[in-house]
A = this chain, B = another copy of it.
Amino acid sequence: MSLTRIHNFSISLDGFATGEPQTAEAPFGHAGERLHEWMFGTRFWDAGGTAGVDNAFAERHRHGIGAEIMGANKFGPPGWHDDPDWKGWWGPNPPFRTPTFVLTHHPRPALEMEGGTTFHFLDAAPAEALEIARKAADGQDVRIDRGATVVRDFLAVGLVDHMHLVQVPIVLGRGVRVWDGLDSLEDAYDVEAVSAPSGVTHLTFTRKLTR
């Protein structure tokens, strides 16, 4: 069974997954790196990092994924679609190594990169995009890998099977809110929380099985 998964999705105490404004110099706006420091400290990110609970969660990100879906705001800074040479933040060899579907109102031809990543550009609603990505995943899982708006859109229509959130104990005050429109989201999920020595709290939402 191919699942739809979200991993390593960091949010502030006040529910923002990114700060503002998002620019080429500051992809997370005024949040800077504060939402992701927990991950930089793990072995997943750096060979000298920790191998405890933060790392255990972080590593799950890369296992069993056959396709990725991301939002236009993850692929580039505002206005990237006006630059025909923009190929994402990640250089010639992006870390995805699967078919990767970028949701955008400005589709362009597919970009085959080194290392197994091919970017496909789709102007599609979540259900349609997921159907396409599911086929490309060839039996493996599909990862929804932000920004916040895309994550929220997929949650709102009930298309997410497993979500791993990381709550960072900071108050951002502004940015893109994750929870808007998701009242009672917990009804469809088993929710678990575990705090880490690093100070973050890992929250997992696993869809309840209906028998």
Q: Are A193 and B201 in contact (CB under 8 A)?
A: yes
Quick one: closest B residue to A174, CB to CB? Answer: B183
Contact of A179 among B13, B181, B185, B195 (CB under 8 A): B13
Does A173 sit at the interface, judged by CB under 8 A? Answer: yes
Contact size class for A? Answer: 20 to 34
8 Å CB interface, A146-165 against B: none
Q: Are A14 and B179 in contact (CB under 8 A)?
A: yes
Of A169, A193, A201, chain B has the most CB atoms within 10 Å of the CB of A193
Does A200 sit at the interface, judged by CB under 8 A? Answer: yes
Whole-angstrom distance between the Cβ of A13 and the nearest chain B Cβ: 6
The interface bits of chain A over 50-85 (1 if a CB of B lies within 8 angstroms of the residue's CB, else 0) are 000000000000000000000000000000000000
**Residue ranges of A at the interface with B (Cβ–Cβ < 8 Å):** 13-15, 167, 169-174, 177, 179-186, 191-195, 199-201, 203
